[in-house]
Structure 1
Amino acid sequence: MATIKRDAPAKVNLTLHVTGQRDDGYHMLDSLVVFAGVADQLAASIAPDLRLSVSGPFSTGVPTGPDNLMIRAAEALRQTRGVTKGAALTLEKHLPHAAGIGSGSSDAAATLAMLAELWGVPPLPATAAEVTALGADVPVCLRAPAPTRMSGIGDVLSPVAPLPDCALVLVRPPVEVPTADVFKALGQKDGGSMDPLPPGLDFDAFARWLTAQRNDLLAPACKIAPSIKEAIAKLKALPAVAAAGMSGSGATCYGLVKDMASARQVARIVQVSEMSWWVAPAEVL
């Protein structure tokens, strides 16, 4: 019996400008999203019902029942496309969850693509109501690995100019930063939009552009988890790191470097100094 496999890459918000808040409470965002070459690994095969098994270094605490985003995505696709088959899903969890890198959303997006192929049905577009109902980050994760400008409440997705070859060092201190708490602690909620990304940037120019942008959730996240500030400072202190910041609402931070050789070198330095931190060198896809 055929088994379909997919990687669900880490989603990294290199910028995150909060530009307003709607009357319904949703925040308006403007963000440059890229995908990194470190991923959860998924597989699916035909089964009489929907089931999920989870393994891997970050499997602890991941639900396997109807609350799991992969199961919800599978049910959404099955109901929308009138599928009567089920699927046995497996998830090898290599990305930390609740870490600002959209691992659950990336898993859901990969599940939608994987099961559309397995069941032989048209995939759901990123704009489908069934997709947006799964969460604000699921639509952009359906565009992986393409770098994307994400605005609105996460529902307005635009292509961006090609980025220069580069890599990231992802660093997450062992802290949890609930997204709702970070937004609650955010003072100004009507900041300016992200600067347009000029075409044809080389690595140094891209690093300068990135340094001039913001993550408006950084300050409130650091109040909740001061180790985020420590992680960014540690990255910025290393000569190979051209820019550093926090992804999403945290606590994962990133250092931008030219290539994978530099990323591995920086990752070794950080990991040796902070053995309890999750550290991953990864190319920008």
Structure 2
Amino acid sequence: MTLRETAYAKINLALHVRRRREDGYHELETLFAFVDAGDRLVAETCDADRVTVTGEFAGALTDPFDNIVARALSALQHPDGLCVTLEKNLPVAAGLGGGSADAGAVFRMMREAYGLPDNWRERSAKLGADVPACVDSTMHIGRGVGEERVEVENDMAGMAVLLVNPRVPLATGPVFKAWDGKDRGALPEGSARQIAREGRNDLRLPAISLCPIIADVLDALDQTDPWMSEMSGSGATCFALYEDIGQRDRAAETIARLEPEWWQMVGQLR
């Protein structure tokens, strides 16, 4: 048996931080969206669970036996051993939910092969707050620490996406710590387009204070006349959305010419 899945890159079209909680986490309101590109996973039955990591960013995962893919396999009972090859195409500590997306892809592969237990959401949440969202990988509003799911009208499916990262890792914890603690208001109401247009990312300025090159990435994206551009999650990856794939591809070519060292990926919103 061979199973194949894409770990879809997660982006936050809006991210409102409402308050710090006593447990150290933060109350959030966010519009999750997913790109039809990301890491790739291939699983084959074998004598015992094993994880092999390949790809451009494999070196960032220093212990493949204790990464989130291995923990996702352990979280679900299955009758066969699975040898999983993870092609790590997404940068690590980049605001794209890469590890959570990898775990979500494991859950989808297990669902296809064996089905999932009724409490799969609870099991996935123990791996990370974003993991339940990444199992379905469909656009929705997340609340709480991101685990509470609210449906939203997805009038953005198919929009062209350009992801750009300056190849600077940025850990989530310090960015949240640098947030000034001010509640700037709730997520707007309406369709996804309305929320994305009227929303904001409250972590953008804290992230730029720690990683100033993010401002350069956003400026470069803004020069390509996108429908919108923003930093994703806690950074340092930024994204631009376009109504036209050709415009996106021209933007990608321009940025690659001006900043050849920056990482980028193209896709469309799911």
Gap change, CA 1:45 and 1:231, over 3 Å in 2: same
Match of 1:155 in 2: 147
Shift of residue 125, structure 1, vs aligned partner: 5.4
Q: Does 1:234 align with 2:220?
A: yes
Match of 1:67 in 2: 66
Q: Which whole-Å CA distance do the structure 2 matches of 1:126 and 1:28 have between them? A: 23
Q: Is the 1:169–1:254 contact (alpha carbons within 8 Å) kept by the matching residues of 2?
A: yes
Q: Does 1:223 align with 2:209?
A: yes
Match of 1:272 in 2: 257
- Structure 1 stretches of 4+ with a deviation exceeding 6 A read none
210, 223, 246: which is aligned to 1:261?
Answer: 246
Q: Which whole-Å CA distance do the structure 2 matches of 1:267 and 1:21 have between them? A: 37
Match of 1:193 in 2: 186
Gap change, CA 1:91 and 1:123, over 3 Å in 2: farther
Q: Is the 1:4–1:43 contact (alpha carbons within 8 Å) kept by the matching residues of 2?
A: yes
Shift of residue 122, structure 1, vs aligned partner: 2.5
Gap change, CA 1:124 and 1:102, over 3 Å in 2: farther
Q: Which whole-Å CA distance do the structure 2 matches of 1:115 and 1:23 have between them? A: 35
Q: Is the 1:126–1:142 contact (alpha carbons within 8 Å) kept by the matching residues of 2?
A: no
Bigger Cα displacement from structure 2, 9-18 vs 38-47 = 38-47
Gap change, CA 1:35 and 1:210, over 3 Å in 2: same
> In the alignment, residue 126 of structure 2 is paired with which amino acid?
A
> In the alignment, residue 97 of structure 1 is paired with which amino acid?
V
Shift of residue 64, structure 1, vs aligned partner: 4.7
Bigger Cα displacement from structure 2, 265-274 vs 58-67 = 58-67
> In the alignment, residue 102 of structure 2 is paired with which amino acid?
D
Could you tell me the TM-score, scaled by structure 1's length? 0.89
Identical columns (%): 35
Q: Which whole-Å CA distance do the structure 2 matches of 1:42 and 1:187 have between them? A: 38
101, 105, 109: which is aligned to 1:114?
Answer: 109
Matched residues, number: 269
What secondary structure sits across from 1:230 in the alignment?
helix
Q: Which runs of 5+ in 2 are unaligned?
A: none
Could you tell me the TM-score, scaled by structure 2's length? 0.94
Shift of residue 55, structure 1, vs aligned partner: 1.0
Give me the CA root mean square deviation: 1.7
1:20-99 aligned at under 5 Å gives the runs 20-78=19-77, 83-99=78-94
